[in-house]
Amino acid sequence: MTEERTARAIFELAGSAPAQPGSEVLGLWSAGKASPPGQTSFAAGGSAEPEIPVWRVNLPSDAEQAAQDLTLAENSLARAEKALDVAEGRISALVEKRTSPAVFGIPSQPEGLAPPEQELLAMLNQAQYGSLAPSFGLTDQFQEGWEQAVNQFQGFVDLVIQTLTHYAWVETRIAGRLSVRTAVSWNGDFETAWQDLIESEQMHLHTRTLKIALASRAITVRSFAVVAAAAGKLTALMSTPGGAILALPAAWKYINEIRAELEKYQQLTQEDRDGQ
Amino acid sequence: MTDEASLLKQTLTFNGINGATGGYLLDPLTPKEIAMIARGESFEKEHLRELRHRYLRAAQTHLGVKEGVDPKKIQETGWGVIFAFDDRERLPALKEALSELLNLRQEQAGDLYKEYIGVDAYRPEETKTAFLARHGMGPGPADPDKVPYYLMIVGDPETIPYRFQYQLDVQYAVGRIYFDSLEEYAQYARSVVEMERSQKRLPRQAVFFAVQNSDDPATQMSAKHLVQPLALEIAEDQKQNQWQVNSFLAEQATKATLGDLLGGEQTPALLFTASHGMGFPNGNELQLRHQGALLCQDWPGPVAWRQSISEDHYFSADDLSTDARLLGLIAFHFACYGAGTPRLDDFAHQAFREPVAIAPHAFIAPLTQKLLSHPKGGALAAIGHVERAWGYSFMWEKAGAQREVFRSSLKRLMEGHPVGSAVEYFNERYAELSTVLSSELEEIEFGKTPDELALAGMWTSNNDARSYVIVGDPAVRLPVSDEGHKNDGQQTDSAETERPTISTIVIHSEATVEAPLQPPPAQPDTSGEVISPAALDYGLTDSLRQARDRLTQSVSQFADKLGKTLEKAVDDAATLEVYTYVSDDMSQVSRDFASSAQLRAFTRIRVDGDTEVCIPERSREIDQQLWAIHLDMVQQAQTNRAEMIKAAASAATRLLEALKIV
């Protein structure tokens, strides 16, 4: 078995501030480097334009493995999208529950809530009272979490802005070699350059890569919509001025945790299946 | 039948004088006219159920709070403060200004202390029933384990309407405060705390002040049939409790005398006044300053004085001296608008089914506000009337004078009940009258011939009884010396002969709850307590404030870009272009595909459906493989465009909705 055959696909988002430093966008795209030497032809004047996000997929030369990796990526994106629906529903339920007559306000005890909800309420609590007062028995670790969430959310906003204002570059590399590149303007115009005499199989791999990259962009923008709506709902639990603004990073963090929860569930299910 | 009852039969009079014209606020109405208005009355079913329950319960001698709870003990009754959700941005500043009072009540009420803020706060347009239901309370006696019996509303009557206060007051002991500046909130809070925490006590002195203007049936009736006998009854009743009761009636009830009773040397612990309250037309420059001011004996009466009322005739907030010594006073003003003014006229609303504005906005009587928030220490509470006060408060057809509600309330107050508990008799009367009135109206609806006089009386007295409110903390009580102490006009624990005062409060910030009409005078006194500006900045820590600012900037930038993108999308939506190139050396493909690769296929789709296509050939034949992949790209491009526009539009919509909530 050669090295290429055993290598797995790498999904990189280059030339863009990652939404989550040290982690992956939508759980799929890791922060990639700018175009490697010799690839500067991407940029006008021969220099790279790091502000243009490049969605780069480096596939193994084994076509079967490549197809499997793309299938996993498609499934992962589907879970990311599902996480948005789940998060919307759970936030609505949470707000409804917390504003019902039986429960009063954020400070009350969060028994029976899942960890993402507990953490969400803790963050709102902190924003609400503007202090490091212990909440739910947890202490100042929340301030750190809060700052991290704000930074991550800002990175996410930057990514969405880039998505909405720049071309997207989608590249498919096979065993490290560029074989196709598509430039997609925000309004949907496509320009694709193919390696001459590219094999039909590789063509189809790129169309799948392109679909994954474009779906990732759309989910990223949709994520912002969900975060904004969630923050609006969460203001019902806050009396702090600028409540919706402060709720944005908390909502963003919450949605990521829901997605991670779904990923974890998928992983456990897969492990169970593999074990049988 | 007494002469006065006969008089009532002819015309219904009320206590209000139009300051601009010198005439009555409303022409006297005949019973027939009032009955017509009454028949337009409608009752909220839930509220009516509550009133009936209240009435039946009162018949069993239970007042307000549930059985087994002593209304004199805050640790049993609980105490709560209700803020408006709409005031959330200034909530931290308000709480800081009121902190002394809130801390005191928290100590006293313990676990039964509640702050209705945030999600628990009063929500716009909320009824009393909805508010209580949200907090686990339905109809019935106040259950302090669920909602405290003493409830202080903090908010102006536009944000938390008088109607909510009237309704809540049926079941609970409710008061309201609202001031123009944070200093005034802090001064009021300190006044209450000063009298409750210190051992300083006032002499047991009560004063009855009754104006009896010439040719004016309203004040003649209130002086003769309410105040004069009431003062005698109270004096007799409270003699054993060593209360000294003085009266200033008719010719003695001048503005100068009232000035002496409101901050001067003769200021008592309890002051009861009965007079006309000043009213002004909507928009009149004096309305927001002087409405509810007390018209004194100095006014020659409606016959002798047929022009606008002089400021020399009435006592307004402007007449309250900066050196006034009011601390500890509880005042009861029987006068039109003595406690406040609604924005809409209740009478016109009932009669013509359309709201008629009588003021630019609902407001608390400025005299009352100033009495409570005086910088030297203010009154602890004032009881008064919102809207017009009527003779039916103490006169009843065929039965003559009816003072028991007043007498019982004052007796309770003088015997140590908190003011909210003392005035339960007014709420009970309101419940009874509403129940009887609604039954009568129902009978009429089903064919009974109305007794116009009775109906007019019922409706007027119902409206009248409903509109008594407490301005101030409903848990305050008269801070008088213990029974048995000599009534020598001195405090029990001090050799001082002057009434106590509070230390000056200075808030070093330009922040005000709402911009006062006139900025408060500079307070250079550095010995006073200082509330730091930082404490007024909504309570956010620096890190959160910075986070909020950063986020606001990010979101603003995002919104700006999103707007431009959507605008551009509309412009660019006319066509969709898909280009397919090939290159034998992908590393040489530059940003400009056209110059660095070979165009093999092209599709341009116009919004009107026209399509331009360039088909790839290889060896003079269509390159089927490339053409197929090109068509796949076209399809993806179309799908992608639709999805991205949808996602961006959704992001814009939801962001706008969220920011609207901010």
Mean pLDDT of B417-440: 85
Mind telling me how many Å the CA of B349 is from chain A's nearest CA? 34
Contact B641 A192 (CB under 8 A): no
Positive or negative, the CA dihedral A164, A169, A170, A176 is negative
Mean pLDDT of B112-118: 93
Q: What is the pLDDT of residue A185?
A: 82
Q: How many helices (H) and strands (E) does chain B have?
A: 23, 25
Place of tokens 């639709």: B642
Q: What is the pLDDT of residue B524?
A: 34
Top pLDDT among B273 and B13 is at B273
Lowest mean pLDDT among A56-60, A226-230, A270-274, B262-266: A270-274
Mind telling me how many Å the CA of A49 is from chain B's nearest CA? 10
- With a pLDDT cut of 70, the percent of chain B lying above it is 79
| Banded pLDDT at B32 (limits 50, 70, 90) | low
From chain B, the residues in CB contact with A232 under 8 A are: 654, 657-658, 660-661
Of A98, A130, A179, the CB nearest to B541: A130
Q: What is the pLDDT of residue A128?
A: 64
Q: What is the pLDDT of residue A272?
A: 67
Instruction: Give the pLDDT confidence of A106-139 residue by residue, as tens digits.
Output: 333 445 678 888 888 878 777 765 543 333 333 3
ipTM value for the complex: 0.78
Q: What is the pLDDT of residue A45?
A: 27
| Banded pLDDT at B367 (limits 50, 70, 90) | very high
Q: Is B328 left (phi over 0), alpha (psi -120 to 50) or beta?
A: left
Q: Are B336 and B386 in contact (CB under 8 A)?
A: no
Neighbours of B590 (CB within 10 A): 17
Contact B581 A232 (CB under 8 A): no
pLDDT at B416 over 80: yes
Top pLDDT among B160 and B65 is at B160
Q: Are A236 and A106 in contact (CB under 8 A)?
A: no
Q: What is the pLDDT of residue A47?
A: 33
Q: What is the count of residue pairs from A and B with beta carbons less than 8 Å apart?
A: 237
pLDDT at B611 over 60: yes
Q: What is the pLDDT of residue B516?
A: 30
Q: Are B85 and B124 in contact (CB under 8 A)?
A: yes
From chain A, the residues in CB contact with B659 under 8 A are: 244
Calpha distance B139→B241 (Å, rounded): 37
Q: What is the pLDDT of residue B514?
A: 39
Of A101, A158, A193, the CB nearest to B593: A193
Residue of chain B with shortest Cα separation from A130: B540
Lowest mean pLDDT among A170-184, A188-202, B646-660: B646-660
Residue of chain A with shortest Cα separation from B570: A187
Lowest mean pLDDT among B224-238, B282-296, B323-337, B395-409: B395-409
Q: Which fold has domain B8-76+78-486?
A: Rossmann fold (3.40.50)
Contact A190 B578 (CB under 8 A): yes
| Banded pLDDT at B63 (limits 50, 70, 90) | low
Of A43, A164, A224, the CB nearest to B565: A164
Contacts of B148 (CB under 8 A, 6+ apart): B77, B78, B79, B80, B109, B112, B113, B114, B142, B172
Calpha distance A47→B85 (Å, rounded): 55
pLDDT at B507 over 80: no
Residue of chain A with shortest Cα separation from B597: A193
Calpha distance B433→B641 (Å, rounded): 68
| Banded pLDDT at B433 (limits 50, 70, 90) | confident
Contact B587 A186 (CB under 8 A): no
pLDDT at A190 over 60: yes
Residue of B560, B577, B629, B632 for testing the chain A interface, max A β-carbons within 10 Å? B629
**pTM for this predicted structure:** 0.55
Mind telling me how many Å the CA of B428 is from chain A's nearest CA? 28
Mind telling me how many Å the CA of A250 is from chain B's nearest CA? 12
Mean pLDDT of B462-479: 90
Q: Are A239 and A71 in contact (CB under 8 A)?
A: no
Mind telling me how many Å the CA of A101 is from chain B's nearest CA? 4
Q: What is the pLDDT of residue B83?
A: 96
Calpha distance B224→B208 (Å, rounded): 12
pLDDT at B662 over 60: no
Contact A101 B136 (CB under 8 A): yes
Mean pLDDT of A101-108: 35
From chain A, the residues in CB contact with B124 under 8 A are: none
Residue of chain B with shortest Cα separation from A191: B579
pLDDT at B71 over 90: yes
Instruction: Give the pLDDT confidence of B147-205 residue by residue, as tens digits.
Output: 999 999 999 999 999 989 988 998 899 999 999 988 899 999 999 999 998 878 999 99
Reading the block at residue A207, the tokens are 């169309």
Domain encompassing residue A158: 10-275
β-pairing verdict for A190-195 and B79-83: unpaired
Of B121, B543, B637, the CB nearest to A188: B637
| Banded pLDDT at B496 (limits 50, 70, 90) | very low
pLDDT at B623 over 70: yes
Residue A140 within any structural domain of the chain: yes
Contact B637 A190 (CB under 8 A): yes
Mean pLDDT of B417-432: 89
Residue A4 within any structural domain of the chain: no
Q: What is the pLDDT of residue B84?
A: 94
pLDDT at B273 over 90: yes
Residue of chain B with shortest Cα separation from A150: B547
Task: Name the range with the highest mean pLDDT among B257-271, B343-357, B582-596.
Answer: B257-271
Q: Are B368 and B333 in contact (CB under 8 A)?
A: yes
| Banded pLDDT at B229 (limits 50, 70, 90) | very high
Residue A3 within any structural domain of the chain: no
Mind telling me how many Å the CA of B597 is from chain A's nearest CA? 7
- Mean confidence (pLDDT) of chain B: 80
Q: What is the pLDDT of residue B15?
A: 56
Number of domains in chain A: 1
Mind telling me how many Å the CA of A163 is from chain B's nearest CA? 10
Residue of A51, A94, A190 for testing the chain B interface, max B β-carbons within 10 Å? A190
From chain A, the residues in CB contact with B80 under 8 A are: none
pLDDT at B443 over 70: yes
Residue A2 within any structural domain of the chain: no
Residue A1 within any structural domain of the chain: no
Of A130, A195, A222, the CB nearest to B539: A130
Reading the block at residue A228, the tokens are 């904004």
For chain B, residues classed under CATH 3.40.50.1460 are: 8-76+78-486
